[in-house]
Chain A
Amino acid sequence: MSVIPGTPDPFAEDRGGPAQPLLSVSALYKHFPVRKAGGRKQVVRAVDGVDFEVLKGETLGIVGESGCGKSTTAKLLMGLIARDTGQMLYDGQPVGERSMPWRSYRRQVQMVFQDSYASLNPRMTVEQSIAFGPKVNGVPGRQAVERARALLARVGLEPKRFAGRYPHEISGGQRQRVNIARSLALEPRLVLLDEAVSALDKSVEAQVLNLLLDLKQEFGLTYIFISHDLNVVRFISDRVMVMYLGRVAEIGPSDAVLAAPSHPYTRALLASMPSLDPDNRTQKALLAGDPPNPIDPPPGCRFHPRCALAEPVCSDAEPPLGAVAPLHRVACLARQPGSGHSAAPARALAA
């Protein structure tokens, strides 16, 4: 299975079988304390109760506007910042406990960062950066370098030319290929791509996306793909999760979510995409104003101050994630039977 000599088959580590989610996150919370001028302690509710699952072999896209908690979620998943509460099950094992300590979890879950330059050590050659991970995990120096070179070749960078280069000597697209190679150096099963192609220009972005698809198939990877670019997410994702202000607004198969969005926020997001057809330009803004302050989110549904469907009931209770179709769940009272919202479907239909 593997192109890298002397490494085990990634599928050999599977424990729970194909039906068990690779990563299952429930009730994930992260509040950052901030001190306001008055001296009172307040918190930014960056991630405020997020639940989702990542299935084996799929690509889960996470979309949302700036400040909705995408990147905080990524850092929580990687353990770069500690979660306040919540549980993460990796292939059925609770992460951070004895059966799945962070150390062994991280060998199987790696991350590619947005800023290709900041994520490479400017004083290390490309090869050294890639070989660093295997080396600290006990792979002998020469073997680690060999692995680095094999991976460089695999991501389309000829080792002879690129191995000894420093990050500033190669282009942005090449750097991001190096970052991808580094994330694969530990033979992970899950790769978290946090805006990994957002900083690249369009043609390079397309090349890197195709590379990601090839690698996924070849190494049997699962991706979490965070982006604000709906086109890219639609291209690469099997399922999409839409976040708004630290919570999940909608999650489901990407065809369903992006073709027939249920949540008013997803609709606004999709409608805000610029059209290529000049006769079909968006004339007026569908979404007014900025997202509310995550220090003091609105009561009830967080989206109701900006929502076209808002009714008094929306400010009373936070809408739970309810199924509108198999696998497609939406946090909107207007889609949930018996919620008290006038647009809610009748109870019988939803069953």
Chain B
Amino acid sequence: MTQPVAASVALDGGVLAADDRAHGQEAAFVPSRGFWGHVGHRLVRDPVAMAAGALILAVVVVAILAPWITPMDPYKGSMLRRLKPVGDATYWLGSDELGRDMISRLMLGSRLSLFIGVTPVLIAFVIGSGIGILAGYVGGWTNTVLMRTIDVFFAFPSVLLAIALSGALGAGIFNAIVSLTCVFVPQIARVAESVTTGIRKRDYIDAAKLSGASALTIMRVQVLGNVIGPIFVYATGLISVSMILASGLSFLGLGVRPPEPEWGLMLNTLRTAIYVNPVVAALPGVCIFVVSISFNLFSDGLRSAMEIRQ
């Protein structure tokens, strides 16, 4: 019985040595790219995701530089030059119902639109992941209590929930962000919980338990790295929803207040001009559409880039 096994003792070292030679000495140290390296590598080869990413980047740059690069004063109106059409010599993208330059207002508006679109998702990403990972990892009663509480929020459509919370808290940017965060926390928590539950039973979690690590350490070191990717993808997909909801709140007068430019609010104030100058009236909507769809496409690209199960 021992004979064949004993013979392979010599093989043991031999095989490895041969393997070494095959790889060559210079190839001895190959710094591994790691998971995120692979994801980045695949992402830059996805033209749609890259285009969407470039557009998002452009909007972000414009939003940051807006106060310095707007061609005209976005707050200064002129009763004589109201609702100029797109392509006007002075007002490149026309002027709004108070004669203010549209392109300047759209540029400055991107700041608030992005801010109240992205911030709630970011905050909800942190809180929701925390709740979801805890519920998923601990399981049992903790899971039941946390997830059933979360389920209550799912009873309301997200638009209704955002409006109800925002209305109860009162108008304003801060309150709009709070209410939108409350809309997204349950959704992200649900995803985080299901991903975490999926890996909780893996052997490497058991092995980590056997090493005597505390639950918190295991969640931080072993679980987080494996669940953060899918949760992040889901969260980037929510940014478009958040932007549309935020615009909706502003449209209803629950978010940003005039005269601050914000795309949703601009859509509201321009709606009376829809028969006079429909193209100008639609511009803020086009901006919302393009930016949110870019976030969606980028999120899709990220998702497929992460679908490398080696």
Contact = CB atoms under 8 A, between A and B. Distances in A.
A305 interface: no
Contact of A207 (B1, B11, B214): B11
Contact of A186 (B204, B209, B211, B221): B211
User: Which of B34, B35, B212, B217 has the largest number of chain A CB atoms within 10 A?
Assistant: B212
Interface stretch (B2-10, B142-150, B263-271): B2-10
B80 interface: no
A122 B207 contact: no
Interface string B182-223: 000000000000000000001110111111111001000110
B137 to A, nearest CB: 14
B202 to A, nearest CB: 5
A240 interface: no
B5 A118 contact: no
A152 to B, nearest CB: 12
A165 B33 CA distance: 9
Interface in B16-37: 16, 20, 23, 28-32, 34-35
Contact of A106 (B13, B20, B210): B210
A206 B32 contact: no
Interface string A161-192: 10011101100000000010010011000000
A235 B2 contact: yes
A156 B12 contact: yes
A198 B291 CA distance: 53
A282 interface: no
Interface in B251-310: 310
B140 interface: no
B210 A132 contact: no
Nearest to A182: B207
A14 B19 CA distance: 41
B15 interface: yes
Interface stretch (A91-99, A109-117, A331-339): A109-117
Interface residues of B, number: 39
A118 B202 contact: yes
Interface in A210-245: 210-211, 231, 234-235
A40 interface: no
Interface string B74-110: 0000000000000000000000000000000000000
Contacts of A270: none
B207 A169 contact: no
B213 A158 contact: no
Nearest to A234: B1
Nearest to A102: B212
Nearest to B31: A164
B225 interface: yes
12 contacts: A111-B210, A119-B203, A121-B204, A123-B225, A133-B211, A136-B214, A179-B207, A186-B212, A206-B4, A207-B8, A234-B1, A235-B2
Interface of A: 78, 80, 103, 106-107, 110-111, 113, 115, 118-125, 129, 132-133, 136-137, 156-158, 160-161, 164-166, 168-169, 179, 182, 185-186, 203, 206-207, 209-211, 231, 234-235
Per CB-CB distance, the 4 closest pairs between chain A and chain B, nearest first, are A133-B211, A168-B310, A119-B203, A123-B225
Given A113-B207, A124-B225, A235-B5, 17 more contacts: A107-B212, A118-B204, A119-B206, A121-B222, A124-B222, A137-B211, A156-B16, A158-B20, A161-B20, A164-B30, A168-B310, A169-B32, A203-B11, A206-B4, A206-B8, A206-B11, A234-B1
